[in-house]
Each structure stands twice: as C-alpha cells, then as structure tokens.
Chains A and B, each alone.
Chain A
Amino acid sequence: MTYKRFYPPFLVIACTLFCVFTGHAQADFIGKVAEWKAKFPKEEVVANVYQEVINFSLNATPAAGEAAVKATVSSETVLVPLKDFLKYDDGLFYNEEQSIENIKVLNPDKKPVVIEKLCGDYNSENVFHSDAKVCMVKFPLAEKGKPFTYTYRENYHDVKYLTSFYFYQHFPIAERVIRFNIPSWLEVDLREFNFAGNVIEKTTVKDGDTTRITFRMLNAPAYKNEPHSPNHAISYPHIICVTKAFTDKGKRTVLFENVKDLYGWYSSVCADIGNDPGLLKAKVADLTANKKTEQEKVESIFYWVQDNIRYIAFENGIMGFKPDAAQNVFKNKYGDCKGKANLLKTMLTIAGFDARLTWIGTSDLPYDYTLPSLAVDNHMICTVMLNGKRYFLDGTEEYIALNDYAQRIQGKQVLIEDGKNHIIDRIPEFLPDRNKESFTNKMSIQDNIIAGTATAEYNGESKIMVQSAFAATKNDKKSERLSSFLRSDNGNIEISNISNSDFNDRQKPLVLKYDYKASNQVTKTGNELYVIMDWEKDFGNMEMPADRKNDYEFNQKYYQATQTELIIPEGYKVDYIPEAFKKSTTSWSFEGAYVNKGKSIMYTKTIKISQPILKRADFAGWNTFISDINKFYNNQVILTK
C-alpha cells in the first residue's frame, strides 16, 4: 500500500500516562502463572491488565497550522512474566503528527527500572522515505509472576489522526480496557468492528461534563503472526474513533462528520499540488499520436505509466496524503500511488479526458465511506470517464489492462473528486473466471517415463503474477526460472522446447507451450503399469493446521481447468480408472473425472475458489474438502497387458 495511515501498527502499544491509574494495584501473580500458562501456552509474558485511556483537549486559539482539538492516549500495562529473567522488547511508533513521552517502567517493588531505548527512523519495506519513527524499548523482567508496570503517553497533535484501537496485542491480556473520556464540547462516534464472536463489555458513565465510555475484554489472546493472514483490520476486533465536531463558546465546528468533510480535507491537501501540465504535453502527444479511438489513447497513457514509472513511495508528513507534482513524477520516472494517480490524471486531462483523483481502501480494510476517518482508505488511483463509463486506473499495477481490476481493489468503494462535491462509486468485482488457468496435456508412456506436450494458459491475476515474476527475473535466469515454474520445482519433471505468447500483452491470455518428461510416475509390476496422471495435485497440501489462529487469505480467486489425455501404450489395455469425484460449496468446488476413450484415457479436473478469504469458522469444512480431494488424487490408473 502506498498511502500514509494513522492507525498504529499492530505490535505497537501506543499509549501514554496522563491520568492516574488507580484500579490496578501491584500484586503478586505467582498463583496465576500456572493458570495463564495453561490458558496461553507458548507465551512468555501475559498482561494482567492493558489499559488505554483517551483524553481530549481543546485549543481555543490555535495558531496557524495548529489543530483545535488534540488528544492523548495514556497506557498502562501490567506485564507478568511466566518465566524467570526475561527481557521485554517493544516498539513504539510515532511520527510528525504524534509523539511519545513519559515512558516508564516500575518493578514489583514500584521502583523505576532502567529502560534501554533506541529511537530512530522506521523503515517499512515498501516505503522509500517517511516520517515514521520507532523507539525500541527494552527492559528486564524479574521472577515469574512478579508484575512490572509499563506506562507511556502518546500525544496526537491533531485529533483527526487518532483513529484505531485494537483489543489484541502481541502478548495475551487478562483484562483489556479502552476508555474514552469524552468532554461535553466534543462529539465522538466510536465505531465497532469485528466485535462479533468476541465478548466485549461496553459501559457508559456520565461524570460531570465528561462521558466515560469503557470497553472491556477479558482473556484476549496474543495476535499470532502467520503467513497468509488477512490484514488485522479485517479480522480483529477494534474501534475507530471518529471525532465529528466540537463546540466552543456556542459555536459548533465540524471535523469529520461524514464523507463530505473527509473529502473536503483531502481536497484541500490536493489543492496545491503544483502540477505543470506544460511539461507533459509532448509526451502525451507522442503517446496518443496514431491512436484511432479514445480507448486506445487512454490505454496508451495508462500502460506507459505502468511500464515506465517505478514504484518508490514517499510518506513524509503531509506527503503521506498529497501527491507529488505530475512533472516531478514524470521527470523522475518514479512515484508512489498518489504520484502515479496524479500523473495519470494530468496526462489524461491533457489528452482531453475527464480524469479524477480517486481514494480507495484496498481489500486490506473492511470499511466504506460511511466511516468519515483517515482510516477508511489507504490507496489512490485515477478515474477516467470514457464513453459515458467510469474506468478506474491503478498506476501501481503491472500488466493490468484497462477495465481489468486487481483482486485487492475489486468490489471496493471509491471516493472520486468532483470539484467541491464528490462521487462515491464501487470497483466492479469479478468471478474467479477472470483468473482462469487452463492446462491441456497429451502424454504417452515410454520406458516407464511419461512424455508429453502441454499448453498452459493464464488469465487475470494468474497471468499478471507470471508476467511480473518473469519481468523481474534476471535476463540470464529467465529461461531456467520459467522452466522451474512450469515444473512446479518438481525434480521428477524435465521441461523443454518452451514457446510463449507475448509476455507484455495485456489483452490476450498468456500462453506457454512446452514438452515435458515425467520420471517416477509409472510403477511397473509384471504385466501392470500403475500410472499417476496428475502429479500436480493442486490444493492437495492446503489443509489448514489445527493450531492456526488467523483466517487464511488466498493470493487470488482461483479457477483452474486441466485436461490430460494419456495414450494407452501399445499392447496394454485399461484395467482400472478411478471414480469421478465432485464436490461443491458456494466458496469452493472441485470436479475430477477419468474417462476411458478406448485408445486413451481423458482426465479432467476443475477447481474453483470463489472467496479470497477462508474464515477460521470454515476450516473444518475446508479440511474435509481437501481430504476428499486427496482421496481422489491418491487413486491411480492401472493398465495391463
């Protein structure tokens, strides 16, 4: 993602100590250690309490560039080691809009503990430069069961950057508390996400001019980092704090009451990008020359940006929201999503099209624009009106065609600029058919080795994945890697004579044709040949482990169709072919069959995965499905003389 976000990374305990915590006296938890070890196996530290208290303050006379409403988040964590003499590590993130102070740790005797602190730039893998900073905090814990109290305070210089609060952390929490102390002059909307399936108690208490809203969850397990986990916003319970408006001396001032306000702020940030279209005109003229139709012109510009502008992200300060000027991106030949979207808009406008900046939250986020918050989106694209239809152009994609959309933005709401107004629309969502992979094989058996020819055809995400990987591979390794890909790194397969359609073609399917030899797929006993006709066994290894904690996110929706014809060797006849198998749900399906055609056996297989996320609740059904598939796979053909 290329768009600056202000919800804290999941491992961060972004809190501060502003108020006095009174509810959690230092106690000895030795008696609880055994219980917690049983409840949270493999964990070394448990928080008896992790509490965040959010307070708001009004700056009645803000200076230029200063916000009227600020916030502090104070945290107290009572950490209890389940082992002796551990060292506790934490990473506290901050940036230009938020600071961290008063980091303190008290030992079981309430004496201050020396903290090792190392603060500096935070380098995120996909961001070249940002204002994100991290303080690595380290301190020793002592005997197991003896609590350490870890506190700090986070200051939000502008309340609009105060967004998400998560219940889970990287350690288990016996009692998780999030409390908002909302003054009467402030209107706050606390939106709850993924609360279903979690017991979270909410209480509201009026205390003079302050309304205290407290969320409490008991025994929150630790977040587990597992491959293919969906973004935590998708799965984990959290609150988004929307500060709608404040009233000072009888005057009500709107902050983010609805999407109009959010758009208003985005619009103000993008008002002075400083685009100089003049510097792009020649290139646009060059790209659109000789293009017969309007669509061809749009395609030409869109594809040029995809192919020629490298992805390099800058998210320092306001640049996390404001695109770099189009001429800079054009000259540098690099930019992030905002820079590419703005370049596309500028070039398309020069070419005479109605093109607009467009905000979007990718599939990593579960929100839509009914949530007026900076947490709602994380990406920027460009919308172009063509022949009365809106086309959404994502300049960060590679090899994507016009009117085709990556899985990560399909079905997502978009916020399109429209002068002082805005337009809400939605990206089309495609069926798995968009990503169809089809494999056609013809094989025969020679000296117990299967030899054949194959044609593989890739579409949609499957095709883009192959195209991108091929383009990123070193020239001298391309052939080797392509061969390795086609044999799925199976040491029994040899690939030769590969031919391919144009790797750069965005419109047509990618077609790879090749010859292969497969060893160790035929077992000979006397007059019989036992033959494995499908050694790929797609999805056969996709059981979800019993101890997996997170949902599973597939790379894409899948549609795989395989057709394999085995020529029966001279002198042999078919003795046995496995029974056909079919299983289907709304989210996934499998259909496989062997047909004896006399001189050959035709094997067909179709797999569809229609939902990109497999929920934990569906793991049991999924595992039965995979088990059934494997029964079908583990059934071989017998040929006899």
Chain B
Amino acid sequence: MALSITQINPMLLRLFCMMLIFPVFAFAQEPSIGEKMEEEFKVTAIPEKWKNESAVIIGMKEEYLFRRQVARGKVTAGVHISEYIHKRIKLQDKNAVDKYSTFFFVTMGVDGKALYKVIKSGGKEVDIDMKSAIEEEQDVPDIYKPIYYKMKVKSMKIAIPDLEPGDIIDYTVSSALDWNMKTEGINFTPFIFSLSNSYPTLYQQYRFTMANGMKVKYRSYNGAPNIKFDPKASVYGDNESYMSYFFMDRDREKSIDERWSYELRSTPSVKFRVVFLDYEPGDRTLGEATVDRSGLDIEQVYKGYAGAALYNTKTVTSLVAYTTQYLLKKKEEGILKNDADIIRECYYCLRKVFLEMYYKGPVHSELEKYFTGKKLYKKILAADKKDLQKEEKEDEVRMNAVTFATALRSSLATQGIPAELFVYCPRSLGTWRDAIFMEELDFVMKVRIKDKAYFLEAINNFDAFATPHAYLENAEGYSIRYDEADSYYKTTVPATTASANLSREEYVVNFTDAMDNIKVERTSSYLGTEKSPLIGKANLDRAYLDTDFVKYFAEPLSKLKKKDDVPVAVNTKYEYPDKEEQIKERKSLFEKELKANQEVDQYNDFELLQSGRYGDTAMLQYKERFVLKKLISKAGRNFIFEAGKLIGGQIKLEPAEMKERQTDIWIPSARTIENSITINIPSGYTVDGLQELNMNIDNNSGSFVSTAKVTDNILLITTKKIYKNNFDKKEAWPNYIAFLEPAYKLSQAKVVLKKK
C-alpha cells in the first residue's frame, strides 16, 4: 500500500525532506574529526618552569575535514568543511580566571555544538550546562572564533560557574560550513600565525583531512614543525579517499613582546591553506590529497597582477587625457627638461586631477575612497595591525591602487617612459621566498630612469613624489614590465638612508622676566618617513589644493567633451568652507602634540612654512611659538633649567630590555633626529653644568652625539641621534642600549643659571 503524505510519521517526513535538501555522502567509510583525544590532553601537572605563569595551555587541537559534496551520486562544486577545536587550559591566577570567566562561542552547521567542562584541582570533572548560554549579538572575541568564521552566525556566551585558580578548563567547539567553489573559489581561507600563544603551550596540533583533489599548502618558519602525513588517520575508499596531514608542536614558550619586533619573522610560525586542484563537477579522477610546500609561482603572480595597470575606466581616461595635455604643455614651455622631470610632474598632475575630482567632482564617494582593491590583503594582515597598518593621515583620501597604476602607466607611456608594476611581499611577512599566498602580496608602481628607480604608492593628498614608506623597506618582489609581453624580473626596494628620513627641531629659547617659564620659537623640519605622521595635520587647512589646482591647470581638450566622459573641473579655486575652523583645529592638534611631551603654558602660533608635498625630497616645515612651564626650578639665587627636556621624549628602556634580546631588531627605517637649542642666557646670569651635555657614542647600529657650548651669552645645545639600519640581528642589541640610554640621560639633563 502506498503511503500518503499524511500517513507518514512526522519524524520520517522531516528526515526525508532533509535528505532532499542536504547532499548524501555515499561512501562506505566516513572520515571524522574530533573523536580522538591525545594523551597529551590528560596531563594535569604543569612543568616547574611555568608554575608562575598566569595560565598554561595544556592542549590545543584544531582539526579540519574537507569533504566534497555529492548529489544524486555525483560530486558537486560544494565542499563541506568541518572544524573541531579542543582546548585545555590550566588557570593559575585570578587574572586568568577573570579572563576565562565568560566563554564565548559560535557553532555553525546542523552538527555544530560546544561542550565545556571544568576539571577541579582535586580531579573532579564538572560539565557545564550549555543550555544556559545566552545569545550574544555582539561579535565574539577573536580567541573564540573558529577560523572558518562567517558573519551573521549566532554568537553565544555563558558565565562559567565555580571557576577558581587551579582549575583546568576544557572546551570543544564543532562547526561545519558549506563552501561553493564556483562562487567562492577553489582556494580556501589562508592562515598565517605564530605558534607562540599568549600563554605557554605544552602541546598543540593542527590537522587537515582532505578529499581527493585537494592539497594543503604549508610552510613552517623559524623552527616551527613540518607537516606530516598520518596514514593511520587517513581513510581509503574505492571512489574517494581522505588523506590526513598534521603538524604538532610541544613545549612552546609564550609570545614575546619586544620593541621593534616582527613576530612572524622572529618566532616559530606557519602558513597554510587548503586548495582544490580542479572543480569540475563529476570529476573523480583526481588524485589523493597531498602537501604542497612550494612557494609562489611567478607565472601565476604575473597573471594575477599584470592586469592591475591595464584596467581602463572612464576615470582613468580622464586622468590620462588631462595629464597628457598638461605634460605636453609644460614640455612645450621647456619646463620639463628630462625624464625625471616628466615622471615627477606626471605624478603630481595626476594627484591634482584626482584631488580635484574628489573634492569638487563626481568621484566624491565613500566607495571610491575606501575601495583599494586590496581588501583581502588587509584582512589577512589584520592580526598584525600594529606593524603593518599603513598610517592614515588626517584628512587623507587615497586613489584606488588599480586606477593609479593604470593611469600612471598610461600617462607615462604617452611620453615614451615605461612604468612597471612592482609586486612585493612586505618585509613584516618575510622575504619573497617565504611568501606562499597571493594574498600576502601588495603592489606599487616602479619607474626606472638610468641608474635610479622610483617606487610610487597610489596617490594620496600628502605623499610627495617617491615618498618612502616603511613597509617598502627592503621589500622583495617582481617587477612586471609592460613594454613587452610576459616580462618580469626580481628586484628589491632599497632601504632608505638615515639622512632621507630626517626630523630636525630648532629651538630659540628666552626666559620670562619672572624666570618661571620659557618662551620658545621652534622650527621643525621633516623628511621621508619622519614626516608621515605630521603632514596631514600640518596641511589641514587644504591650502595646498589651491596651489595644486593653479600649478597643474591645463585647458580641457575638446575631444573629452563627450557625453560619457567624467568631467574635469576647470575652476582653479578651491573654496574650503571650513578653512578657518580647520586652521584652529590644526593649531589645537599641534598643541596637543606638544602637550604629549611638554608642560605647555601657552600655545601661541603655528605657521606652515613648507607643505612637504612637492619636489623630489619635499621637506615639511613649520614654525611654532609657545610658552613652556615647569622646566625651571629655583635654588637660592640660582635657577636650574631642564634643558634636556627640549630634545623631546627619548626612549627609556625598561629594566627587562637591558637584558638579553630574544628577537631580531626590525626598525621601521633608518633615520636621523636632530635638535638644535639656542638658549639666550638672561642677563646677570652665567650657565654651569654643561659637562653632562657633551656626549659622543657611535657604533654600527646608531649614534648619539651632543654638544653644548656658550658663545656671547648664548648657550647652544645640539643633539643628533641616528638609527643607521632598518634591521639588526638580536646580537647587536647592546649597540642600541649604548646610544639609546645616553640619549635618554641627556633628555633628563639640567643646567644651572647662576646669579653673577
């Protein structure tokens, strides 16, 4: 008798419907994850060396299972990714108890679940009732996120009861998600991380079990373990096999927080990603899953990036047409005498058109402002923001990197100057050889003339031509040429010199009549990377736009007047309605900047002398007038003046830093910091105590030189600190101590003004 739909048991009906909705895995032997708990997790005793740590990770395991989805007997483009996380942590103090007092979790997929138990110091195991978990609308903290985390999943939190120091917490989180290779690609999410965690770790394991046709791209660095094949955990089938690979690590000390350190280059770290070889539905001829330890394929890099400077849009057309018109005009006028002039002025003219479009024209939109074509790159590096984030300046807008690359290449091509696209691996991630994912790469434009090469980042308001960026220092990569097909070559961005990155502050100091404060006139000059954090603030009034718009004005070409062309504004004036407010705001920002280092009684005046936006080596320069307090003490009839404080905040190494350095030293760039302090000695006084102000320390890593002399009742103090390198081996750390400590000492030095 046939069953009508109403006669079927509701449970059976639901199961039947689920079978229609969800693909069925029709293999005899199913691979699984999360079933085995290693002996290492059962440890309860903590090694003596870690008894004083806040917490110790006893065991940490992450397993991933990649299965191809099958529908009606045929494999599809879908991949079912299962994730299993198991952590066991001993909490050894109140800080750790407070930190783990709340457990956050997300579970994805129908089988997703979280289990939690507390193992009391006596050995009793207490299961936490996960039903009391509360839905959390806010994002879960990163430490609790599964790596295949997706937005819009339900986040949960639970307050862990009866938790106290000495307890061991043990939790597992299982999740699963479906990945459509047709829409999401055949490369699954890449991961880069250090094996050093916030707490010391006794045991950690990462495991990948993959269906046929998959591979795990894997590299280990700085002594991290290699990945191994696990035949016992692999499952062999007639149609489909699942190969299991894993890497494990033991006895790992916690992460080190040292000044000037790149964690990925200094600590044992790994990069991995599972990829699929092909995604033709129904293809069952693919081989068993493997490990791929290869680096980047330059052919692939070329294919992936060459188009970045060939992406023509209407905006690009307008940019190029205008710039070409301008360059022709200036060449005719004889202003552009050589290729170097053309390249520089091409860059500045493009900048003008972009800024004019942005501030006055049709590309003034949020999307244009933020879409850089480097989203994924930024995402992958998000974990290392501290070192890698490109500094955003006040009032900054930046051109889309692809638009810039195409516009610059095209504009220079019209002048017969080839431009190249330089694809590089930022040095915080490693050398080119260390890179294995395309997402690790970034690009800038490179233009060569004779013996010189310019590296040009996408235009923003403030970068001068060929501005050095710390993230480009010694970056290795390939330069893609466009003057012939399939042409590229390996190259490295040279490190900038200490003199190219200059900070110079010149003080003229007068004492107030009451001898309680000092009146200061300070002229500050900055070049290169030293200029970067200040230039946006200094140009907050946008007066530079007027200069740009006038200087780089060219009559629009009539042929551009087509209906669809992006119009280019011809008005050379920029009316900034908030200019006066911004001038006040600028003064207030620089006052705040000064207050970070000094006790300011009055901040009187800020005057921009050079915008720092033009020329080959554009200097940012401004003059300030202010009154400082609390630098003068009295002693009987005499005064003690803390002159050293004027050289600004100097690094004071912490006691722990005076000991042995554990990681190599990655300085953002070589640089020079100069101070010149002219002090008018008040009449009726002489100055004493200068012997402490003369120093001269010079070694291979840096130097600090200071002088103090009195001439015609003027005390002149000069200091010069140079960081000579952007990198040193950790063994060179004593060199740094040798010049950093005297610089700090000088910043604390005082002179005595003696009543005659």
Interface residues of A (CB under 8 A from B): 83-84, 120-121, 123, 128-129, 144, 308, 310, 312, 331-334, 471-477, 480, 483, 491-492, 494, 519-520, 523-526, 528, 530, 532, 540-541, 575-576, 578, 630-631, 634-638
Contacts and interface: CB of A to CB of B under 8 A. Distances in A.
Interface stretch (B429-437, B727-735, B748-756): B748-756
18 contacts: A121-B138, A312-B102, A312-B159, A331-B162, A333-B161, A333-B163, A474-B93, A474-B95, A475-B53, A475-B93, A491-B652, A525-B688, A525-B689, A525-B754, A528-B752, A530-B750, A634-B630, A636-B634
B54 A476 contact: yes
B53 A523 contact: no
Contacts of B632: 634
Contact of A121 (B98, B137, B634): B137
Interface in B125-180: 134, 136-138, 157, 159, 161-164
Given A128-B102, A476-B53, A634-B634, 16 more contacts: A121-B137, A331-B162, A474-B96, A475-B54, A475-B95, A520-B749, A520-B750, A523-B640, A525-B754, A526-B688, A530-B638, A540-B630, A634-B632, A635-B634, A635-B635, A636-B633
A521 B633 CA distance: 12
A532 B748 CA distance: 13
B52 A475 contact: yes
A253 B636 CA distance: 78
B122 interface: no
Contacts of A523: 640, 689, 692, 750-752
Given A123-B138, A475-B53, A494-B655, A333 B162 contact: yes
Counting chain A CB atoms within 10 Å of each CB, the highest count among B52, B96, B754 belongs to B52
A37 to B, nearest CB: 8
B273 interface: no
A575 B754 CA distance: 14
A308 B136 CA distance: 26
Contacts of B203: none
A312 B652 CA distance: 39
Given A120-B137, A310-B97, A636 B635 contact: yes
B254 to A, nearest CB: 9
Nearest to A575: B636
Interface residues of B, number: 47
Contacts of A578: 634
A507 B468 CA distance: 61
B749 A474 contact: no
A471 B161 CA distance: 20
A144 B578 CA distance: 11
Interface of B: 52-54, 92-98, 101-102, 134, 136-138, 157, 159, 161-164, 577-578, 599, 630, 632-636, 638, 640, 652, 655-656, 688-689, 692, 744-745, 748-752, 754
Contacts of A528: 752
Contact of B630 (A310, A492, A630): A630
A638 B98 CA distance: 51
A334 B101 contact: yes
Contact of B752 (A121, A144, A332, A530): A530
Contacts of B162: 331-333
Contacts of A630: 630
Nearest to A332: B161
Contacts of B744: 491
A526 B94 CA distance: 54
Contacts of A312: 101-102, 159
A491 B744 CA distance: 9
Contacts of B692: 523-524
Nearest to A532: B633
Given A83-B578, A491-B744, A492-B748, A476 B159 contact: no
A333 B138 CA distance: 25
B193 to A, nearest CB: 22
A199 B159 CA distance: 48
B710 to A, nearest CB: 13
Contacts of B578: 83
Given A123-B138, A636-B634, A636-B635, A524 B159 contact: no
Given A128-B102, A129-B134, A308 B164 contact: yes
Contacts of A83: 577-578
Given A634-B632, A634-B633, A474 B54 contact: yes
A528 B95 CA distance: 50
A52 B578 CA distance: 33
Contact of B635 (A121, A480, A637): A637
A525 B752 contact: yes
Contacts of B599: 541
Contacts of A471: 94
Contacts of B94: 471-472
A476 B635 CA distance: 44
Contacts of B754: 525
A472 B577 contact: no
Contacts of B54: 474-477
A186 to B, nearest CB: 37
A129 B159 CA distance: 10
B98 A310 contact: yes
A507 to B, nearest CB: 21
A334 B164 CA distance: 11
Contact of B95 (A473, A525, A631): A473
A477 B94 CA distance: 13
Contacts of B97: 310
B159 A332 contact: yes
A128 B133 CA distance: 12
A423 B291 CA distance: 76
A476 B50 CA distance: 9
A372 B606 CA distance: 56
Contacts of A540: 630
B160 to A, nearest CB: 8
Contacts of A520: 745, 748-750
Given A474-B93, A523-B689, A525-B688, A638 B164 contact: no
Contacts of A494: 655
Nearest to A84: B577
Contacts of B159: 128, 312, 332, 334
A638 B689 CA distance: 14
Nearest to B588: A42
A472 B98 contact: yes
Nearest to A636: B635
B161 A331 contact: yes
Given A120-B137, A520-B749, A576 B655 contact: no
Contacts of A310: 97-98, 101, 163
Given A312-B159, A520-B748, A638 B633 contact: no
Counting chain B CB atoms within 10 Å of each CB, the highest count among A494, A528, A540 belongs to A528
Contacts of B630: 540, 630, 634
A637 B634 CA distance: 9
Given A308-B164, A638-B636, A519 B689 contact: no
B750 A576 contact: no
Nearest to B631: A634
A539 to B, nearest CB: 13
Nearest to B198: A474
B645 to A, nearest CB: 11
- Sorted from nearest, which 6 A-B pairs have the closest CB atoms? A491-B652, A332-B161, A520-B748, A474-B54, A576-B636, A525-B688
A192 to B, nearest CB: 37
A527 to B, nearest CB: 11
Given A310-B101, A491-B744, A472 B95 contact: yes
Contacts of B134: 129
B695 to A, nearest CB: 14
A83 B582 CA distance: 12
A638 B635 contact: yes
Contacts of B138: 121, 123
B634 A519 contact: no
Nearest to A496: B655
Contacts of B636: 575-576, 638
Nearest to A522: B750
